[in-house]
Amino acid sequence: MKFTELAIPGVILVEPTVFPDERGFFLETFHEQKYRAGGIAASFVQDNHSRSVAGTLRGLHSQRRQPQGKLVRVIEGEIFDVAVDVRRGSPTFAKWVGVRLSAENFHQLYIPPGFVHGFCVLSPIAQVEYKCTDYYAPKDEQSVVWNDPDIGISWPIPPGTAPIVSPKDESAPRLAEILDQLPEYYSE
């Protein structure tokens, strides 16, 4: 199992060891001791599952007072998964990282609390499962518009194609409009 910290500290790409044979494959999708040793010391309390069609873009989402860390994986299809640091005062504030996660590569992305998260679907269908470090709290939800020019995410969307976005995500504010609502960065 391989753990790689990406360009933003705390965001970790997980490459599980997969054991394929003529019957199919086997892998561990979570093992607390191994993940802790790999830099993910989170305690997960909720699992979520979504299914989306090609061209869907979900995000960018977080929670204010109950921030969630997320461990994301794809069980069908492929997505481009994105984490944006929104911790005020962080040296990587408003910076983003993105990776391709698929059912074929088995990779996972750990996104710590204090980040907004989103993904776009690159395959005809994508099913995404993710573990969360805190419970979903609808009244605590916070969003940033997916195409905020101050963040500048390079979504792999074909030119001239509009992603399928929920009305809530389409009308989300820019990061600059919610600065006073964002969590403070604390170095360890």
CA 67 – CA 64 distance, rounded (Å): 6
State the amino acid at position 47 in one-letter form: D
* Residues recognised as catalytic: 61, 130
Residues 119 and 84 sit within 8 Å (Cβ to Cβ): no
Environment class of residue 23 by beta-carbon count within 10 Å: exposed (0-12), middle (13-18) or buried (19+)?
A: exposed
CA 97 – CA 35 distance, rounded (Å): 20
